[in-house]
Amino acid sequence: MAALAAFVLLVASPAAQAQPAPQPRVPESAGEVKLSFAPVVARSAPAVVNVYALKTAPQRSNPIFDDPFFRRFFGGRGGPGGPGLGAPPERMQRSLGSGVVVDPAGLVVTNFHVIEGADEIRIALNDKREYEAEVLLRDQRTDLAILRIKREGKESFASIEFGDSDGLAVGDLVLAIGDPFGVGQTVTQGIVSALARTQVGVSDYQFFIQTDAAINPGNSGGALVDMAGRLVGINSAIYSRSGGSIGIGFAIPVNMVRVVVEQAKSGSKSVRRPWLGAGLQRVSPEIAESLGLPRPTGVLVQSVVPAGPAAKAGLKVGDLIVAVEGQGIDDPESLYYRFATRPIGGKAALAVTRSGKELSLVVVLEGAPETVPREEVQVRARSPFAGATVVNLSPAVAEELKVDSNVTGVVIYEVDDNTPAAAAGFRSGDVIIEVNGAKVGRTRDLEQIVRTPMRAWQVKVERAGRVITALLPG
């Protein structure tokens, strides 16, 4: 309501429009130091909830019941009398996280890792009411998930207003709200310690807000709020050697959260993001020196996909992208974040340096095309690839897995634990180029090759721009 009143005042009073925005300042008196955060908490805390993710897991049975002789007498899976003593009992695993209600209809934002693998999800509100929830959208790449509370009729819930994470500055006061260690809703206070942290290793889109507000296990999915009580981030991870807070916490910026929420509201089950259609390289101090730059900044264009958005905009190999829509770029992760927070169908202005000249290029934001059907295959035949799921490489898959779409081959989408593929060291994003001297162009090629048992397998794979050749046992 305060935000609406401010907007009306600006529209109704031309004189007010000319006044500069108030600048942050430090307390100037003992009375100001005693000011309380209670009004901010009262506005935002009711929208922060507990998220209980329940999952069933089989318990390890006594090894004696693995023997058919004992199963015959005591009963076992498939034997007379049902599961009997030989069947491993199931136990319920219960993990606790936090979430934030972002819509009065009951939309809740939390972390993907909080609800991953859950069979049942329950939401406990600030006022102790509990509800079942369903998953509307999972986005592992941003470590976000959107839930919907199963409400009765048109029941309404306390929700929080979105802020603007791009408006944050290092030193701004923030509050972290969540349920650390399951002790109950807790509010901690700190400042924005840093912005645009890109080397955290938590998600594909790394562009985190760092804060010293205490964040502990159980806070995942909780709210980082500004002094107006607006959501500016979703608390996601901490750096810790003990498992507890040491004042280095990371939150996903709300401008990224907003994109995922909007796509969930539209009914989408996955998040589509704009595609640049270019390979990028971080500028090292050595590269900066060779280019005559005063410091390492921007990203170098290594490759351009023909007929892709970058090519249509006039971007060329060797160009240095230094800003997107006026926001400075220091590494590829920064550019991917700026693109990911803009809508498909819009445009983005790139500030580019080419041969010492400054250019402005406009990229039309479009999704990466799936020019080749995925033809997903889970390899089961006895081979080093058993347990790997492979798909055909296309711009859409390349963008999703962050691999070079100019490479020809089949890409490993995921690798199951405790399988030959995992033991061989394969990873998601590895592009299989050759097997035993035969080119692998489609998933059906690999499927055909592994049907013939071999004593040894010669495999050529591209990983992160490097071609690796390995000899693996059959």
**Residues involved in catalysis:** 113, 143, 220
Q: Say if residue 255 carries a ligand binding annotation.
A: no
Q: Say if residue 44 carries a ligand binding annotation.
A: no
- Is residue 342 within 8 Å of 348, Cβ to Cβ? yes
Q: Say if residue 36 carries a ligand binding annotation.
A: no
- Is residue 19 within 8 Å of 80, Cβ to Cβ? no
DSSP code for 307:
T
- Is residue 330 within 8 Å of 308, Cβ to Cβ? no
State the helix-helix crossing angle for 254-265 and 332-340, rounded to 10 degrees: 40
Q: Say if residue 218 carries a ligand binding annotation.
A: yes
3: left (phi over 0), alpha (psi -120 to 50) or beta: alpha
Distance CA 112, CA 336 (A): 20
DSSP notation for 11-46: HH-HHHHTSPPPPP----SHHHHT--SHHHHHHHGG
Pairing of β 231-238 and β 278-282: unpaired
Mapped onto helix, strand or coil, the DSSP state of residue 4 is helix
454-469 as b/e, with b when 16 or more CB fall inside 10 Å?
A: beebebbbbeeeeeee
Q: What share of the chain is helix, strand, coil (3-state, %, to 5)?
A: 20, 35, 45
Q: Say if residue 418 carries a ligand binding annotation.
A: no
User: Binding site for substrate, residues?
Assistant: 113, 143, 218-220
User: Binding site, residues?
Assistant: 113, 143, 218-220
